């Protein structure tokens, strides 16, 4: 429980927008490759975001999501990967509450 709380606090410091989280969800539709601590800041999320091409109005949000993901600590990376995986597994809506 302490580890999960540390992850939650660390991730909350990043301050994601709903649009940025939507971009991350779209980029990670195929799922996360492994439940391990990545050598790359932002882990699988950073890898998935690199594969997206910015277009029009979304380009600033994509660049912001890439920047924030690249600055995540290992703890926050795991928290984000778990949160995204749970969101997909539960089939939740793209809302602030979900």
How do residues 13-55 score in pLDDT, each as one tens digit?
888 888 898 888 888 876 555 555 555 656 778 878 887 776 6
Q: What is the pLDDT of residue 36?
A: 52
DSSP string, 25-51: HHHTTT--S-SS--SSTTHHHHHHHHT
């Amino acid at each position: 429980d302490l580890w999960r709380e540390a992850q939650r606090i660390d991730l909350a410091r990043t301050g994601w927008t709903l649009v940025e989280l939507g971009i991350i969800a779209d980029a990670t539709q195929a799922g996360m490759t492994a439940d391990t601590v990545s050598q790359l800041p932002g882990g699988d999320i950073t890898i998935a975001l690199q594969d997206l091409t910015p277009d029009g109005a979304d380009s600033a949000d994509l660049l912001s999501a890439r920047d924030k993901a690249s600055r995540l600590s290992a703890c926050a990376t795991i928290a984000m990967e778990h949160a995204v995986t749970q969101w997909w597994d539960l089939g939740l809506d793209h809302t602030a509450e979900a």
